[in-house]
Amino acid sequence: MKNDKKPKSAFKKIWHRYQLTRWIIVMFLLLFFVMSAYCTFVAKTTHVQDLQSSLEQSTVIYDGNNKKAGKIYSQKGTYVGFKDISPNIPNAILSTEDRNFYNEHGFSVKGFGRAMLLMIKNKIMRRDYISGGGSTLTQQLVKNAYLTQQQTFSRKLKELFLSIQVENVYSKNQILTMYMNNSYFGNGVYGVEDASRRYFGMNAKDLPVQDAAVIAGMLTNPSAYNPVDHPKLALDRRNVVLQLMADNNKISQSEANKLKKTPIQVKNTYQYKDGYKYPYYFDAVIDEAINKYGLSESDIMNRGYKIYTTLNQDQQNSMQDDFANDSNFPSNASDGTKVQAASIALDPSTGGVTAVVGGRGQHVFRGYNRATQIKRQPGSTIKPLAVYTPALENGYNYNDMLQNKKTSYGSNKYTPENYNNVYTGTVPMYTALAQSMNAPAVWLLHKIGVDKGYESVKSFGLPVQKKDKNLALALGGLSSGVSPQQMAGAYTAFANEGNMTTPHYIRKIVDSSGNVIVNNESVTSKKVMSKEVANKMTSMMLGVFDNGTGASAKPSGYSIAGKTGSTEADNTGDSDATRDKWIIGYTPKVVVATWEGFDNTNAGHHLENLSGTGVGPLFKTELQQILPTTGNNNFSVKDAAYMDSQEKKANSSSDSSFWDSVSDGANQVSKSLGKGWDNLKKNASNWWNDAKKFVGD
């Protein structure tokens, strides 16, 4: 027994000596103070004063001319004021959800205490969540508006402090109105106004008691208790709510008993207003707001922002119509799989994206956008970036003669081949580009040095890696691939006198209170090449559509410059099988990049015709509709082939004039000499006659 008492007495001595009880209390109070300070900071900086305005308004997208282009909906029903809601609805909701709503300041002491006990229980049982907690209506509003649905103690504590802050800013009726307009009622319907129309075919202000009880009953589980999908469960739940209303003295018991016997009459007059008119463009706007400006999807969908973009609605509508027209595309694969495609148009002077479509078929919200997300080999569309631009910068001229022979390079015997296996010995640079010849492009990159080509591609903003530093770079051999948006961005440098602009969608974002939270109005550009080089590149790329690989895709009545490209499909057993087809075209006013191919390329899913012109029908149709919306598209330079012919003609004329002058001079000398000889002979004869006369005399 003595041995048992000694450890206990020693423990007590240590406990009392170091005053551990006080230290535990101090640590607990310190922890509580820190957490309270943090939650107070969160509550004070959340700007709850904007809550009502953000819930009342949907996020609106504006185009480049500040005209409304559409709305982004999420937890947004038709917002109605308190006076436009039947008193039967708040009576039913308060009787069911929070009877003490008007007598508490944002939270329930009993409810929060219950949450604490449940938290302790769950921690002991190693559960990292709270199983309940008696949230008030204000807490539920705050949770839906600001917080995640994750049931953790830290979230619960934030919810409490935010609720107190909301109660400090808004009246009880304002809070109740926001709650009723922001609640979910199943079948994609938010708010009591749209719920009343969806389930009972009337406005919320006209809803009778029994139908208001159905609405209130759905709040705990909209999927299980809505009268369309589960009429029996909805009826049982409605009767529970009617009884709670009687218990809360909102209706009499006799009225409750009478109403419990009435059936639920469902009538649907709700019409969903789809403001998501340009799905791929709006997706890209949301992605940019999240990835570039740090907003959350929830903020964008629910905060009532005004987002001003660079959208051109005429171009976007026409591009969407083009993608909906199957005649613009090759036939489906034998199993019915569609050939996919993506297109993007942007203003080269600003980088603002004016239209974008990221695929064919049904759109999925924030789904795969091939215009911005694919990583495919660019093929010959990289030649202007990797070969011809750095060649001009290093002393070559657009009409210099290049070697056009089948040649092997390096120890690995890399041997590029022209598409048709035709080699002419030499070829002018502009012809090699326009006809997309491989052998001259690789020869030229070899001459100027791969390092210069690599650095050039890098300066255009494409994602090259060190392992791409080889001669295959001339033909688009990149490790990671590129998207149409990246290629369109690179080509802005040619259209914009050597200045490259960055593709973007958002100009400005304004919150529901009128504060500008994003301002991207100023244009930034990067000097990639001189104006002279840009003009020479444009003159060469005019030939692509005048007499080169893009001639069939040239829009009638317009001059455009650009490049086509394609990549081989491996392991298909078809020598002409193609994986990717590209066309990029531009004027001084617009750049359009279009890609075509299958998402997964194999023996049964590939394109034909490696020449790269198969995507022409779509591209030509797009440009035919887009160019009239862009104003003056005239270039300041001519096609390189025309310029070269004029230069040769001028040189030929100059040479001819020189030799004509020499000939005329010789004739004049000859005539003068002839006249002089005649005069000399005549004078000599006269002298002889005079001499004879003198001798005779």
* Residue range 151-196, pLDDT digits in tens: 455 556 677 777 778 888 899 999 999 999 989 898 888 899 999 9
At residue 7 the predicted structure's pLDDT band, cuts being 50, 70 and 90, is: low
Quick check: 697 pLDDT over 50? no
Pairing of strands 499-501, 525-527: antiparallel
Residue 4: per-residue pLDDT = 52
Mean pLDDT of all residues in 513-534? 93
pLDDT digits (tens, 9 = 90+) for 337-378: 999 999 999 999 999 999 999 999 999 889 999 999 999 999
Q: What are phi and psi of 604, to 5 degrees?
A: -95, -5
Residue 152: per-residue pLDDT = 52
Element at 596 (helix H, strand E): strand 591-597
Residues forming beta bridges with residue 479, ordered by sequence position: none
Quick check: 451 pLDDT over 70? yes
Domains of the chain, residue spans: 15-45, 74-261, 655-696
The amino acid occupying position 215 is I
Quick check: 492 pLDDT over 60? yes
The mean of the pLDDT values for the chain is 85
Q: Which of 75-79, 404-408, 514-518 has the lowest mean pLDDT?
A: 75-79
Residue 556: per-residue pLDDT = 93
Residue 47: per-residue pLDDT = 60
Residue 691: per-residue pLDDT = 47
Mean pLDDT of all residues in 258-281? 92
Residue 142: per-residue pLDDT = 82
At residue 34 the predicted structure's pLDDT band, cuts being 50, 70 and 90, is: low
The amino acid occupying position 434 is A
Q: How far is CA 577 from the centre of its chain?
A: 30
Residue 525: per-residue pLDDT = 94
Quick check: 381 pLDDT over 60? yes
Quick check: 76 pLDDT over 50? yes
Q: Which of 27-31, 54-58, 99-103 has the lowest mean pLDDT?
A: 27-31
Pairing of strands 401-404, 340-346: unpaired
pLDDT digits (tens, 9 = 90+) for 535-593: 999 999 999 999 999 999 999 999 999 999 999 887 666 667 889 999 999 999 999 99
Q: How far apart are CA 286 and CA 277, in angstroms?
A: 14
At residue 111 the predicted structure's pLDDT band, cuts being 50, 70 and 90, is: low
- Give the list of residues 6+ apart from residue 12 with CB closer than 8 angstroms, or none: none
- Give the list of residues 6+ apart from residue 14 with CB closer than 8 angstroms, or none: 20
* Residue pointed to by tokens 């070559």: 396
Residue 292: per-residue pLDDT = 96
Q: How far apart are CA 177 and CA 181, in angstroms?
A: 6
pLDDT digits (tens, 9 = 90+) for 199-237: 999 999 999 999 999 999 999 999 899 999 999 999 999
At residue 90 the predicted structure's pLDDT band, cuts being 50, 70 and 90, is: very high
Quick check: 675 pLDDT over 50? no
Quick check: 37 pLDDT over 70? no
At residue 416 the predicted structure's pLDDT band, cuts being 50, 70 and 90, is: very high
- Catalytic, out of 95, 380, 436, 566: 380
Mean pLDDT of all residues in 686-692? 49
- Catalytic, out of 54, 86, 97, 512: 97
Residue 655: per-residue pLDDT = 54
Mean pLDDT of all residues in 395-405? 96
Quick check: 407 pLDDT over 60? yes
CB 224 within 8 A of CB 230: yes
Mean pLDDT of all residues in 640-656? 80
At residue 673 the predicted structure's pLDDT band, cuts being 50, 70 and 90, is: very low
**pTM for the structure as a whole:** 0.78
Distances (CA, A) of 246 to 209, 221, 232, 235, 257: 11, 22, 22, 17, 9
Locate 183 and state its tokens.
Answer: 């609640």
CB 624 within 8 A of CB 556: yes
Residue 660: per-residue pLDDT = 53
Residue 696: per-residue pLDDT = 46
CB 417 within 8 A of CB 603: no
pLDDT digits (tens, 9 = 90+) for 455-468: 999 999 999 999 99
Note if 380 is an active site residue. Answer: yes
- Rounded to the nearest 10 degrees, what angle do helices 172-182 and 137-146 cross at? 50
Locate 349 and state its tokens.
Answer: 């002077």
At residue 149 the predicted structure's pLDDT band, cuts being 50, 70 and 90, is: very low
Quick check: 240 pLDDT over 80? yes
The string over 579-605, giving b where at least 16 C-beta atoms fall within 10 Å of a residue's C-beta and e elsewhere, is bbbbbbbbbbbbbbbbbbbbeebeeeb
Q: What are phi and psi of 325, to 5 degrees?
A: -95, 105
Closest CA to 95 of 290, 242, 222: 242
At residue 115 the predicted structure's pLDDT band, cuts being 50, 70 and 90, is: low
502 or 676, which is more confident? 502
Pairing of strands 353-357, 340-346: antiparallel
Of the ranges 534-538, 612-616, 667-671, the best mean pLDDT one: 534-538
Please, how many CA atoms are within 13 Å of residue 155, restricted to the half-sphere of its CB? 18
Residue 298: per-residue pLDDT = 79
What 3-state DSSP class applies to 51? helix
pLDDT-above-90 percentage for the chain: 61
Residues forming beta bridges with residue 504, ordered by sequence position: 352
Quick check: 605 pLDDT over 90? no
CATH 1.10.3810.10 fits 74-261, yes or no: yes
Residue 148: per-residue pLDDT = 52
Closest CA to 177 of 48, 90, 74, 302: 90
Quick check: 434 pLDDT over 60? yes
Q: How far apart are CA 13 and CA 50, in angstroms?
A: 57
